[in-house]
Structure 1
Amino acid sequence: MDGAREDGPSGQFDGVEFGAEFGAALDGVRVVGMGESTHGTAEFFRLKHRIFEYLVVEHGFRTFAMEASASAGPAVDAYVRGGAGDGAAVLTGLGFWVWRTREVLDLLEWMRDYNRGRPRAEQVGFVGIDPQRCGASLAHFGEERAGVLAALAEAYPGQLPERREELLTAAKALEAGVRGSGEIPEAGGHEALEAAGRASAEDRRHARILLRAADVVTREPGAEMWRARDGFMADGVDEAVAAGGGAGVAVWAHNGHIGVRGAALGARLRERYGSAYYALGLVFGEGAFRARRMWPGPWRPRVKRPSPVAVNRLGPAREGTLEALLAARAPGTHLVDLRSRADEPWVTETHLTRTHGAYVSRLTYRWNVAPTVPGAEYDGLAYVPVSTPSRPL
């Protein structure tokens, strides 16, 4: 596969229209945030795949950044650049069950096919931007050097606040030690110096990930914890932009992360890149999606164990919601640039919109909506009429 599916710059990618309006909106854009109102909608995943293809072929983007393990990201990057291994295995290594799907694997395989035969400077790469699931970084240092930081391997945000001082102290000590090591080989010439430099850079990267992970998992659950995580993910995007030599970066995350209000990832990117950051929210009309179901409040089991992944169903969007408004404007899958429609009243009005993460309340998820002002939160919207569950590997 050569990578191009389009009929031209204003044509289609597998039936999805990328018109002149959307293409013009991306002039000067360096980072595109691709959101989703659920983590379990197959159509969102496929649409973001097509959007990334479009960004690569028509706008020269070269990096795909994902709300997934920064620690395990290099293994995925090596795979899409033609390295040995199994796509499903490296995808599983990212540590997030929501991404272990056929749709995301199809995207990785497209990247690998696109890269085949191209010089490295023209290839597309993969990065993870979330400090969670840092097992590969722990393995890099080994059990003895990692020490108590081994507790970070499977920990989730806010899980270990009682160990904050211990784990942060250990992570800072490791990071400081790596920063100060910089050993220069006594012999070996230029190649030995280069190898030492690469090793040192890799040490610093893994130590930085562990320090970020320690910060996130040891905070008290709440707004500050999520603020810290989004800040670190924004730093990960910055690092991808710097490494990309000026080529564009596409960011895959939830709508709640890519929006530009508050302290979300997208808000940090808007502060840093201004109009060169484009936030695209994805919503759907009706259908089903995958998410883990939890009992709410006092009915939640005291013993913590993974909740079952279930197919959750939603009927047509209620009148007055953002989804219903987009369905009335155009019933099929479509993209809307909000920057060019800033004078249209609906863009500056408040609407309720659905939002579901990896977990939903088994009793009340159907009513899980949040107010949003489209033009204040996003630069563009993509609407999918029917959601079907993502396909697990």
Structure 2
Amino acid sequence: MDRFFLSQTPWVSCSIILLSLFISSCKDDEEIILDTQTKALVETLDQELKPLTINPLDWSDEELSFLDPLANKKIIALGESTHGTAEFFDSKHRIFKYFVENHDFKVFAFEADFGESLLINDAVQRGASNEIEELMKSKMHFWTWRTEEVKNLLVWMSNYNQSKSEEDKLQYVGVDCQFNTFHPGMVRSYLNKTDATFFASADEILIEAKSASEGYFAAYSLEQFETYLEKIDELKALMTNYKEELIEVSSEREFKLHVRILEVIKQVSIVRYYRGDYTINYRDKYMAENTVWFNDYFDGNKIVLWAHNRHIADEPNYGGGGSMGHRLKQDLTTDYTTIGFLFSRGSFTAVTQRGDQFRELQTQTINANPKTNSINFVMSQGKQSVFALKTIDLQKYGEWNDAFANSIEIFEIGAAFNNNPSDYYFKFDPAFYEYIIYFDTTTASVLL
């Protein structure tokens, strides 16, 4: 798993203090006294926010109409500031449904394994909602998505597809590249089915890809690893050379998909070989490439993209080359947009972290107020407990521009939590997210 699935690098908080507060001795009945600058931040926030119903699944089309200006974007990315918050997951379910029913979106792409998602999407395409839970339990690599909330989304997609033509069906896909559990076997099955003349040599390469990936290429020198990658490229060239023959006994879409799966095998190999080396952020690079590829593969059908806030953000300094969102923004410019999700307190599902050790997966709880020098704290003092906000609207105000310039922070957790919230703050940049959806209090996702 990556840093957001397993651990969260502690972020050094800036020393600038924008806010001051007084908290009474009664923890459950706090009286917070804000300074003049903070009051101004809260007042202008209240002017710009759009209130939302507490339960995301109850959001009406009218409530979500503020998202209509995004309807023509190629990719709308929906984030999350933890990997285990029910409200974030339900929000994304409801927003995707809104874009499907009102703006002809067809594809939901996840920060999930490319191959596993193809297996689950087969059931989604057939409208086999009764198969979804077992497929999630048996095929999904990450506990983060094996939840009732994601199941409800996939069941809805499956039921929706039952009455739709092939071109109108919804697609569930994964853009991640951390495992070669299924990919080599998928290519092998395709080449066997099409009776490829080079099957024997391809099979040898695919067997090596699966076994070596499982061991993180630990036995490979750099020279051996580069030779292995050359074999993958040679197999890809062979498939391209025999394209017409392969298409004749399958289809152009099948051919295109399996060439891409072979490319994902290479992506996974590189991510695994260079794990821990963030000179180049290979994983985000490849997730961005896979997302754009799916947009083309589905003939330009618009995509809603589900991933952690840090991945979707336009963040050039997130590893070498920047985040997935930064790369998508560079590639697609105005055709890519982001909605980040924030919270202040409540419960969420995460792995318990103690030092360098990762322990049990359980419900975690935060009762304390956010750090005063954070956008979360300001939002927690607003009039509304659940709301949406266009980030650029805050930049109309001098006090907000001052706060951004003076390193106001943001609070975000991945898949692990060490029970020390102060470790999970870092500098906020308003360029990260075009919109923010905020929940004052959250509840934990429900694991299958």
TM-score, normalised with respect to structure 1: 0.84
Whole-angstrom CA distance in 2 between matches of 1:21 and 1:337: 13
Q: Is the 8 A contact 1:41 1:387 kept in 2?
A: yes
Q: Is the 8 A contact 2:243 2:255 kept in 1?
A: no
Q: Identify which range, 240-249 or 139-148, moves more after superposition.
A: 139-148
Q: Name structure 1 gaps, 5 residues minimum.
A: 1-9, 301-305
Residues 136-193 of structure 1, C-alpha deviations (whole Å, 9 max, x = no match): 112224574423322465578xx8596554345324313322322443788xxxx971
Q: 1:379 to 1:111 in 2, by over 3 A?
A: same
Quote how far apart the aligned CAs of 1:62 are.
0.8
Quote how far apart the aligned CAs of 1:70 are.
0.8
1:33 aligns with 2:92: no
Whole-angstrom CA distance in 1 between matches of 2:355 and 2:270: 27
Whole-angstrom CA distance in 2 between matches of 1:238 and 1:323: 32
Q: 1:169 aligns with which of 218, 222, 227?
A: 227
Q: 1:295 to 1:169 in 2, by over 3 A?
A: farther
1:102 aligns with 2:148: yes
Quote how far apart the aligned CAs of 1:131 are.
1.1
Q: Which amino acid aligns with 2:110?
A: M
- Residue 296 of structure 2 is matched in structure 1 by 242
Whole-angstrom CA distance in 2 between matches of 1:332 and 1:243: 40
Whole-angstrom CA distance in 1 between matches of 2:389 and 2:133: 33
Q: Which amino acid aligns with 1:86?
A: E
Q: 1:203 to 1:81 in 2, by over 3 A?
A: closer
- Residue 210 of structure 2 is matched in structure 1 by 150
Q: Is the 8 A contact 2:205 2:231 kept in 1?
A: no
1:314 aligns with 2:314: no
Q: Which amino acid aligns with 2:360?
A: P
Q: 1:223 aligns with which of 278, 290, 295?
A: 278
Q: Which amino acid aligns with 2:112?
A: A
- Residue 97 of structure 2 is matched in structure 1 by 53
Q: Is the 8 A contact 1:133 1:152 kept in 2?
A: no
Whole-angstrom CA distance in 2 between matches of 1:69 and 1:343: 41
- Residue 372 of structure 1 is matched in structure 2 by 428
Quote how far apart the aligned CAs of 1:245 are.
2.4
Q: Is the 8 A contact 2:52 2:386 kept in 1?
A: no
Residues 103-160 of structure 1, C-alpha deviations (whole Å, 9 max, x = no match): 100010011111111112111101100011221112224574423322465578xx85
- Residue 344 of structure 1 is matched in structure 2 by 397
Quote how far apart the aligned CAs of 1:366 are.
5.0
Quote how far apart the aligned CAs of 1:355 are.
1.4
* SS at structure 2 position matched to 1:195: coil
- Residue 169 of structure 2 is matched in structure 1 by 123
Q: Identify which range, 103-112 or 77-86, moves more after superposition.
A: 77-86
Q: Is the 8 A contact 2:271 2:283 kept in 1?
A: yes
- Residue 5 of structure 1 is matched in structure 2 by none
Residues 170-223 of structure 1, C-alpha deviations (whole Å, 9 max, x = no match): 24313322322443788xxxx971516555434312211110001101115142
Whole-angstrom CA distance in 2 between matches of 1:346 and 1:76: 48
Q: Identify which range, 258-267 or 318-327, moves more after superposition.
A: 318-327
Q: Identify which range, 119-128 or 177-186, moves more after superposition.
A: 177-186
Q: 2:131 aligns with which of 86, 89, 97?
A: 86
Q: 1:114 aligns with which of 154, 160, 181?
A: 160
Whole-angstrom CA distance in 2 between matches of 1:77 and 1:99: 14
Q: Is the 8 A contact 2:340 2:433 kept in 1?
A: yes
Q: Name structure 2 gaps, 5 residues minimum.
A: 1-50, 189-202, 317-321
Q: Is the 8 A contact 1:175 1:204 kept in 2?
A: no
| Alpha-carbon RMSD | 2.9
Whole-angstrom CA distance in 1 between matches of 2:140 and 2:148: 15
Q: Which amino acid aligns with 1:115?
A: N
Q: 1:195 aligns with which of 241, 245, 250?
A: 250
- Residue 386 of structure 1 is matched in structure 2 by 441
- Residue 285 of structure 1 is matched in structure 2 by 344
Higher relative contact order (Cα pairs below 8 Å, separated by 6+ residues): 2
Q: 2:385 aligns with which of 327, 332, 337?
A: 332
Q: Is the 8 A contact 2:84 2:144 kept in 1?
A: yes
- Residue 251 of structure 1 is matched in structure 2 by 305
Q: Identify which range, 344-353 or 213-222, moves more after superposition.
A: 344-353
* SS at structure 1 position matched to 2:396: coil
Residues 24-51 of structure 1, C-alpha deviations (whole Å, 9 max, x = no match): 4314322111000100111111111111
Q: 1:336 to 1:198 in 2, by over 3 A?
A: closer
Percent of counterpart pairs with the same letter?
23
Q: Which amino acid aligns with 1:355?
A: E
Q: Is the 8 A contact 1:171 1:210 kept in 2?
A: no
* SS at structure 1 position matched to 2:102: helix
- Residue 18 of structure 2 is matched in structure 1 by none
Residues 40-93 of structure 1, C-alpha deviations (whole Å, 9 max, x = no match): 111111111111111111221110000000122211221111255721233231
Whole-angstrom CA distance in 2 between matches of 1:105 and 1:202: 25
Q: Which amino acid aligns with 2:388?
A: L
Q: Is the 8 A contact 1:168 1:214 kept in 2?
A: no
Larger CA Rg, structure 1 vs 2: 2
Q: 1:166 to 1:89 in 2, by over 3 A?
A: farther
- Residue 70 of structure 1 is matched in structure 2 by 114
1:14 aligns with 2:52: no
1:180 aligns with 2:234: no
